[in-house]
C-alpha cells in the first residue's frame, strides 16, 4: 500500500519528465535573435517622435515611406489586364527573364552573350541565387572547398556557404583607420590564397561597408585572380542602385570576363527594382563554350528541383517586362537613378550638417562610400548612446542604411552623431 501511495505522489513529476524525454525536440536550444530584426523591434517599441531606424536594408522615399516604382505599377496593371494563368514555371525559370538578366549584367553585345557560352537560371532573389551557386560549387567544384570572403562581408554569406558545405576563409578588405578600402591588405592576402580556391567579390556597393575598389584597383585584383588561377564568384545585388548607372556598376564583372576569367554571378532585383517581397534573382555561370553551358544547365536543374522545384512567377514577369520594353526600361533607368541620387544626396547633406554642427572629424568616407549602406566609423558605445539618448537605431558596428535618412531628419542625425563623437 505504501509503495502504491508513493508512486501516486511522484507520478505527476514522472509524467512531466517522461513527456520531456519523449519530446523529439527537447535538445533544441533557443537560437540567437537576428541583429537587424532586433534593431527594428526596439525601434517599434520606442515612443520618441524623432526616432530613426537606420538598420533596415530597404529603400525609403524622402518621406521615409516604402517606394514602389512607377514602371512596376504599370507592368502590374498590364499583367492584370491580360488575365494570365498561374501555371508553374520551368525549373530554370522564365526564359525571357533569364536572357534579359544576363544581358543586363554582361551587356547585350558581350561576346559571352553572342556565343551562348553561359547559362542563367532564375532564382529566389539574391539569397536563393547564392545558395544555388554554393550548392553547385559543393557538388561540382572539385578543386577546393575553400571560399574566401572579404572581411567584413554581408552577414548572410557565411551561413549560406557554410550550410552548403564550403569552408569559409577571409581576405582583408575594409580599413577601419580610413573607413575605406584596404587595397594593400587585399592584394597581399589574395596573392597568398592557394591556387584554385574560390574568392567572392561584391560587384558594387559592398555590403555592409559601402566601400568599393576603383577601376584601376579592380584591374589589379583581376590580374592577381588570373595569375593565381582563382575562381571568381560575384555577388551583384545593387546594379544601377549604387551609382545610378547600370554599366558603371557592372564594370568589374565585365572586366574580369574580358580578361578571360570565367566567373559565376548572382543578381537580385530587390533593391534596383524595389521587388523585395517578389523574390526575383538570377544565377549565371560563364562557361568555356555553349556545349559546356548546356551540361552545366542540366546539373543546375537537377540541383534546383529538390530545393524548390521552380521559382516564383509574378516578379519575374514584372522584371522581364521592364527589361525588354524600351519605354519601360527607359523609365526604370530614370527611377533607379533617382533612388541612387537620393542616397548620394543624403550622404552629402549628412556631411554638410556635421560640419555645420562644428564637428572637427573628417567625414569624407561618408561621401566616398557608395550604395545603401555606410560604415560610419562609430564605435559600439557611441551607437549605444545614439539609441539611448536620441532614439536612433542601427547595428552595433556603426553601419547605417542611408535610405533611412531624409531631408526631414538628416539635421537631427548629424546633431546626434556630433554629440556622441565630439
User: Contact, 269 vs 281, CB < 8 A?
Assistant: yes
Q: From CA 242, how far away is CA 191, in angstroms rounded?
A: 28
Q: Which residue in the block uniquely carries the three cell numbers 526564359?
A: 95
Spell 270-304 as b/e; 16+ CB within 10 A means b: bbbbbbbebbbbbbbbbbeeeebbeebbeebeebb
Longest dimension (CA), the chain: 92
Query: So which residues are the catalytic ones?
Result: 154, 235, 271
User: Contact, 397 vs 379, CB < 8 A?
Assistant: no
Q: Which residue in the block uniquely carries the three cell numbers 537631427?
A: 412
* DSSP structure class, residue 130: H
Q: From CA 364, how far away is CA 376, in angstroms rounded?
A: 10
Q: What are phi and psi of 148, to 5 degrees?
A: -100, 120
DSSP reduced 3-state for 388: helix
CA atoms within 13 A on the CB side of 122: 27
Q: Where are the alpha helices (DSSP H) in 245-289?
A: 246-249, 251-258
Closest residue by Cα to residue 201 from 145, 146, 266, 259: 266
DSSP reduced 3-state for 124: strand
Q: From CA 391, how far away is CA 317, in angstroms rounded?
A: 41
User: 48: which residues sit within 8 A by CB, 6+ positions away?
Assistant: 391
Q: Which residue in the block uniquely carries the three cell numbers 560587384?
A: 203
Q: Which residue in the block uniquely carries the three cell numbers 534593431?
A: 39
Q: From CA 315, how far away is CA 281, in angstroms rounded?
A: 9
Amino acid at each position: 500500500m505504501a509503495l502504491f501511495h508513493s508512486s501516486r505522489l511522484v507520478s505527476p513529476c514522472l509524467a512531466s519528465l517522461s513527456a520531456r524525454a519523449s519530446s523529439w525536440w527537447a535538445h533544441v536550444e533557443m537560437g540567437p535573435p537576428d541583429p537587424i530584426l532586433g534593431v527594428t523591434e526596439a525601434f517599434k517599441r520606442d515612443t520618441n517622435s524623432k526616432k530613426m531606424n537606420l538598420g533596415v536594408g530597404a529603400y525609403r522615399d524622402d518621406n521615409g515611406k516604402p517606394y514602389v516604382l512607377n514602371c512596376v505599377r504599370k507592368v502590374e496593371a498590364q499583367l492584370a489586364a491580360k488575365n494570365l494563368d498561374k501555371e508553374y514555371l520551368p525549373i530554370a525559370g522564365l526564359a525571357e527573364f533569364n536572357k534579359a538578366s544576363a544581358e543586363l549584367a554582361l551587356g547585350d553585345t558581350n561576346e559571352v552573350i553572342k556565343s551562348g557560352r553561359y547559362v542563367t537560371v532564375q532564382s529566389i532573389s539574391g539569397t536563393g541565387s547564392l545558395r544555388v551557386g554554393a550548392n553547385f560549387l559543393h557538388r561540382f567544384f572539385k578543386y577546393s572547398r575553400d571560399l574566401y570572403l572579404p572581411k567584413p562581408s554581408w552577414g548572410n554569406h557565411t551561413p549560406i556557404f557554410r550550410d552548403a558545405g564550403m569552408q569559409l576563409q577571409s581576405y582583408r578588405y575594409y580599413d577601419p583607420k580610413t573607413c575605406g578600402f584596404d587595397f594593400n591588405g587585399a592584394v597581399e592576402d589574395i596573392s597568398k590564397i592557394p591556387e584554385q580556391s574560390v574568392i567572392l567579390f561584391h560587384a558594387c556597393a559592398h555590403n555592409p561597408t559601402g566601400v568599393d575598389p576603383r577601376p584601376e584597383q579592380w584591374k589589379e585584383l583581376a590580374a592577381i585572380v588570373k595569375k593565381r588561377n582563382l575562381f571568381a564568384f560575384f555577388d551583384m545585388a545593387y546594379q544601377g542602385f549604387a551609382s545610378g548607372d547600370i554599366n558603371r556598376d557592372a564594370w568589374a564583372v565585365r572586366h574580369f570576363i574580358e580578361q578571360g576569367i570565367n566567373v559565376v554571378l548572382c543578381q537580385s532585383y530587390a533593391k534596383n527594382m524595389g521587388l523585395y517581397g517578389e523574390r526575383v534573382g538570377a544565377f549565371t555561370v560563364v562557361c568555356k563554350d555553349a556545349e559546356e553551358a548546356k551540361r552545366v544547365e542540366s546539373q543546375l536543374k537537377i540541383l534546383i528541383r529538390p530545393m524548390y522545384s521552380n521559382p516564383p512567377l509574378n516578379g519575374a514577369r514584372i522584371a522581364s517586362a521592364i527589361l525588354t520594353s524600351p519605354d519601360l526600361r527607359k523609365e526604370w533607368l530614370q527611377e533607379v537613378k533617382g533612388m541612387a541620387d537620393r542616397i548620394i544626396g543624403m550622404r552629402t547633406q549628412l556631411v554638410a550638417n556635421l560640419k555645420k554642427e562644428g564637428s572637427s572629424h573628417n567625414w569624407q568616407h561618408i561621401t566616398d562610400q557608395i550604395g545603401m549602406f555606410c560604415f560610419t566609423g562609430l564605435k559600439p558605445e557611441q551607437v549605444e548612446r545614439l539609441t539611448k539618448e536620441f532614439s536612433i537605431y542601427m547595428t552595433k558596428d556603426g553601419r547605417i542604411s542611408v535610405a533611412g535618412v531624409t531631408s526631414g531628419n538628416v539635421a537631427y542625425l548629424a546633431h546626434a552623431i556630433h554629440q556622441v563623437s565630439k
